[in-house]
Chain A
Amino acid sequence: MAATASHAEVPRSRPGLDLLRKALRHGSVLFGGGLILALALVALFGASLAPYDPMAMDFTARFAPPSWAHPFGTDDFGRDVFSRVLYGAAVSFQVAFIAVGISGLAGVALGLTAGYRGGWIDEVIMRVMDVLFAFPAVLLAITVMAILGRGVENAMIAIAIVYAPIFARVTRGAVISVRDREFVTAARALGQSQLRIMLRHVLPNALGPIIVQTSLSLAFAILAEAALSFFGLGTQPPDPSWGRMLSEGRGFLQQAPWMGIFPGLAIMVSVLGFNTLGDGLRDVLDPRFRGRH
């Protein structure tokens, strides 16, 4: 794509503090960030706040509708859905953060190398990424799970492999747009090592799109965990993740709609949070949008 925007300002070697200040004044960033912060607190402390043991079965209280005793009702084993949703926050957030962490690290490293070095290295890395990208995402994840075996850890790896090419592309694009700027050529003229230049000068100036992509990927990872659960992969029972609860709840919409509705709402709220945060960060960080709204 052709870059049409021009930048009059002289780029700094480091992102300024004023960006952070700007971000904190931005409505979407505040709203999305607030949601995520709240959910993260639930993920950290939810298990200790839960009124019941999320695994404890009670066959005398199966399919109980929401009540004071069970605010979100109970499931087909008589387990407290509220406690499970609280507990599931940790599982879902863990999957999302670790998966995106892995794919971010791998994707950024590859994209940075490809974009900065160019030439055949770029060609090889990006073609491999293209191959991964050309696989239907769902199938790629399922195949990886089939090879590695199921379980939360492997679900993280599967999601990471699916999203790594996107990070590589985004990073490469951002790197290419800064690699020939004055401060990079200056560093090169000073004889700094390539690794140092890449990490100290190029990467910090390409961080904007990567941060945005991270936030959006976190939203997708939460959905991806749900999709894997739909195929019976991912978290192993009886551990609750939102995706697994939602997927199982779909079989009980007649008897006990609350089994699916509440984890579904939890997924919606967190995806909403990550996406809003991502959009807001894009407004603040992406040079093309800087200074608008």
Chain B
Amino acid sequence: MKRTLALVPILLLALAGLAAAQTRGGTLTAAWAQEPVGLDPHIVSAQSSYQVLENVLDTLVTLDAEQNVVPSLAHDWVVADDGLSVTFHLREGVRFSNGKELSAEHVVAVFERILDPETGSGNAWRLAGVESVTAPDAATVVFELAAPNPSLLGKLALDKALGIFDPAGVADGSINTRPIGTGPFMIADYQPGTRVLLERNPNYWEEGLPYLDAVDIRIIGDETVRRTALITGDIDWVFSVPPQSVEELDARDDVVIDAAAAGAYYYIGVNMMDGPLADVRVRQAISYAINRDNAAAAAEFGSAMVTQDPIPSTSSWDFSYAPYDYDPERARQLLAEAGYPDGFEMEIMPNSVMANTVRAAQVIQSDLAAVGIDASIRALEWAEWLQEQGDGNYDTYVCSWNGMVDPDEFFYAQHRTGEVFNFTGYSNPTVDELLDEARVLPDPDARRDLYEQVNRAIVDEAPYIYLYNPLVIHAYRPDVQGFETRADQAVRFVRTWLDR
């Protein structure tokens, strides 16, 4: 999915660059669109925070570019025959950036903290079913589980919410502003709203890495300004470019557009507690009424793949179940059957931080009007949006789920009865059973069967109306080498170098 430049000489130059030895040193100036919303890995949830931590912390296991679980701080691991415990063997001689040697005690302290309700972590759900984390010796960590959990490794590997830091930072408060990790870089300066300066971790365990001396992360909120800063070379790398500029930037020879299909989806969340939206036919009618091609074109300007189910077609878990091809006639029929031949009034709640959701909402509104549903748009700022969503004060909202790999992540927390992120009120005992069973099944083929049933049920009952799978797009100067845009949206500068 990686886009390449059409211009042959530049391509050759790039290839020559790849062939050449990596140059060490230099500072990469990167631009984030949003400032980190705190840096404590257990508390934060913003991409802007996670992607800083991505370069500072290591996890026990991690994902390679193909999204396979591979060793990181643990050089290998053993799942017990009964599936009720997982034993990790830690890499030897790993040091934190402050020089302290990593021991299993540190790992245990980190996991005990996130499991402690007093921490107030929103990420603790990933460790559901973990009964204890212990350290029989300095190089071994054992997870005891209530039930077998094949998706645990994936959850440990996904982003840096479960990254390992020096637990001494909890007592002195530095975890909030400067978590000390074992990753390739360390936080040297953090000026909220302005910059985060990452410097090479001199104690990094991977020989010869990172190549860069430093990554200077600047916060540039305005998308037009961010684009200009990249073109003029004020910055080398940008987290995101305006979707409408992707094509134009791709055509330039002084900018590289690096895109990959993301393990993410944009969707309409439907509040199905009461009113017309509680009727499955109405939700299906909405799904038929929406021209997804137009919605994706308006929201992402071509940098997306329309979909009717959550998992992108680039994933090995893809089901490509698509019963809702654009059919306003069918939508009108369903509405009439449900007792709303003249439609009804409802609200769409996008959030104004994500301009793409506001654009998508306008297409949705226009398409719904065509089948008689009178929808109004209520675009809210992020803080208010979160509150309203959490309180269930909405009819429908437009949002995305990001950074998912395992099918469990696509379904469980969102749709299982009573789960914390099940904001729609969806509850189907059969789906619950399937979800519970699938997450503990070791056999991938058997899991696939169960998730296929889950996928079908959820798409049919439409608590979520899926719109499209986005691309993750980064843009950088041609002399930035060795960076890879990843499906899990992780931004890793460990192998990035500057060809200057």
Contacts and interface: CB of A to CB of B under 8 A. Distances in A.
Decide whether A and B assemble into one complex. yes
Interface of A: 55-57, 59, 62, 76-77, 146, 149-150, 232, 236-238, 250-255
B101 interface: no
B365 interface: yes
Nearest to A254: B248
Given A59-B293, A236-B377, 4 more contacts: A59-B298, A236-B379, A237-B362, A251-B224
B384 interface: yes
A290 to B, nearest CB: 47
B253 interface: no
8 contacts: A57-B298, A76-B298, A232-B353, A237-B379, A238-B366, A251-B242, A251-B355, A255-B245
B306 to A, nearest CB: 13
Contact of A77 (B248, B298, B379): B298
B381 A146 contact: yes
Contacts of B353: 232
Contacts of B377: 236-238
Nearest to B351: A232
A229 to B, nearest CB: 11
A59 B293 CA distance: 10
B478 to A, nearest CB: 20
B297 interface: yes
Interface of B: 223-224, 242, 244-245, 248, 293-294, 297-298, 301, 352-353, 355, 358-359, 361-363, 365-366, 376-381, 383-384
B244 A255 contact: yes
Question: When A and B form their complex, which 4 residue pairs have the shortest distance between CB atoms, in order from nearest?
Answer: A232-B352, A238-B362, A59-B294, A237-B362
A64 to B, nearest CB: 15
A232 B363 contact: no
A59 B297 contact: yes
B244 A77 contact: no
A254 B379 contact: no
Contacts of A150: 378-380
Contacts of A149: 384
A57 B363 contact: yes
B150 to A, nearest CB: 43
B359 to A, nearest CB: 7
B379 A232 contact: yes
Nearest to A55: B366
Contacts of A56: 366
A250 B366 CA distance: 24
- Residue of A56, A59, A253 with highest tally of chain B CB at under 10 A: A59
- Residue of B244, B293, B355 with highest tally of chain A CB at under 10 A: B244
B428 to A, nearest CB: 34
A254 B366 contact: no
A17 to B, nearest CB: 48
A100 to B, nearest CB: 25
Contacts of B297: 59, 62
Contacts of B361: 237
Contacts of A236: 376-379
A244 to B, nearest CB: 11
Given A150-B380, A237-B379, A253-B224, A77 B352 contact: no
A237 B381 contact: no
B363 A77 contact: yes
Contacts of A146: 381, 383-384
Contacts of A251: 223-224, 242, 244, 355
Contacts of A250: 224
Contacts of B294: 57, 59
A232 B358 CA distance: 10
A250 B245 CA distance: 12
Nearest to A147: B384
Contacts of B352: 232
Contacts of B355: 251
B78 to A, nearest CB: 52
Given A238-B365, A252-B244, A232 B381 contact: yes
A62 B223 CA distance: 21
- Residue of A59, A237, A252 with highest tally of chain B CB at under 10 A: A237
B367 to A, nearest CB: 9
A236 B384 CA distance: 15
B345 to A, nearest CB: 15
B328 to A, nearest CB: 14
A145 to B, nearest CB: 9
A77 to B, nearest CB: 6
B375 to A, nearest CB: 11
Nearest to B361: A237
A86 B104 CA distance: 68
A57 B244 CA distance: 17
B304 to A, nearest CB: 14
B35 to A, nearest CB: 16
Contacts of B301: 76
Nearest to B245: A254
